């Protein structure tokens, strides 16, 4: 019997690698990991674990066709324009077109809110959200069976010094969380490494048997919806030491400033429960902020 192939884009990034690892653990699908450099350390590691690793760039339509040829399902996450050099909306369209032509039966797309639409045209600089929203609309109109997963603020942002707008450091009496978000604003907080893989795997393995619950749906991937003040309280519980919050000045980067401003006036995924009960019904158990702090963040910042 031929293997059931799941093509995973962005396979060496945070989201894609989480999906590849979850698929390998589950065993239903053989993951085909798509990356720009098949000789990178991350790509070679995935190959050693049992994934098929192939090279493709979002602008290379022939390579994209090869990446999805024979695949039953596809996980698509686009990458920021400053890395890919052209809009995420076009990245998405190229993969969607190739997947539809190849006869892919189901696609899961990682998305964000369109900030321009959400704010009714008030905030128009957050292209990373707007372009994903455009690609999602294109997918939904394409006729390709699909579901989308909307994410929030990544918990993993606290682990990366290069992430703009967030930092987390150890102090003499505990820890300090610095952020350029606004006081008392609320956000959905997402633990990608813990939850994205199981969520995509659940959708891939059940899109036929539970199609009415999955097809055409946009699921929210999040541990909790919380203000940043409450967020640090939860971090403190997991770390066992105080966490202080320090609000920084605006970044002066229109895309990020607009995103943070939007959070104050126009909450993401308003009216939706977080964690998403629809994912929980499919067997996905979200990790908590406290668990992330205890099992991941503490060892990282205490090194």
Q: Domain segments of the chain: what residues? A: 5-301
Mean pLDDT (10-residue bins), the chain, 303 residues: 93 98 98 96 97 96 98 96 84 98 98 97 95 98 98 96 91 96 96 98 98 98 98 98 96 93 94 97 98 97 83
Fold of 5-301: Rossmann fold (3.40.50)
Q: Which residue, 36, 32, 39, 33, is CA-closest to 59?
A: 36
Q: What is the pLDDT of residue 122?
A: 97
Distance of CA 15 to the CA centre of its chain: 5
Does residue 275 have a cis bond before it (omega within 30 degrees)?
yes
Sign of CA dihedral 144, 24, 31, 300: positive
| Residue 4: DSSP 8-state | P
What's residue 164's pLDDT? Answer: 87
pLDDT for 84 equals 72
Contact 77, 178 (CB under 8 A): no
Look at residue 13 in the predicted model and tell me its pLDDT.
96
């Amino acid at each position: 019997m031929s293997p059931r192939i799941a093509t995973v884009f962005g396979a060496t990034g945070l989201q894609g690698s989480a999906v590849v690892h979850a698929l390998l653990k589950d065993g239903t699908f053989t993951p085909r990991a798509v990356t720009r450099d098949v000789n990178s350390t991350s790509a070679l590691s995935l190959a050693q674990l049992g994934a098929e690793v192939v090279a493709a760039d979002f602008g290379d339509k022939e390579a994209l066709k090869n990446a999805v040829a024979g695949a039953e399902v596809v996980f698509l996450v686009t990458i920021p324009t400053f890395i890919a050099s052209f809009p995420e909306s076009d990245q998405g369209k190229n993969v969607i077109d190739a997947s539809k032509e190849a006869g892919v039966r189901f696609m899961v797309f990682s998305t964000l809110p369109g900030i321009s639409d959400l704010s009714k045209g008030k905030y128009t600089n957050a292209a990373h959200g707007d372009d994903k929203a455009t690609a999602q609309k294109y997918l939904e109109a394409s006729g390709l069976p699909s579901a989308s997963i909307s994410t929030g603020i990544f918990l993993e942002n606290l682990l990366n010094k290069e992430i703009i707008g967030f930092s987390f450091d150890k102090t003499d009496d505990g820890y300090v969380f610095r952020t350029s978000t606004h006081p008392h604003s609320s956000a959905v907080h997402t633990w990608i490494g813990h939850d994205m893989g199981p969520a995509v795997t659940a959708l891939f393995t059940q899109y036929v048997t539970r199609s009415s619950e999955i097809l055409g749906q946009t699921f929210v991937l999040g541990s909790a919806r919380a203000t940043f003040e409450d967020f640090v309280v939860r971090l403190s519980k997991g770390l066992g030491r105080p966490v202080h919050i320090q609000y920084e000045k605006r970044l002066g980067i229109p895309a990020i400033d607009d995103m943070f401003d939007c959070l104050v006036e126009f909450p993401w995924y308003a009216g939706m429960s977080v964690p998403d009960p629809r994912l929980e019904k499919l067997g996905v158990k979200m990790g908590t902020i406290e668990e992330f702090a205890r099992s991941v963040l503490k060892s990282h910042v205490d090194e």
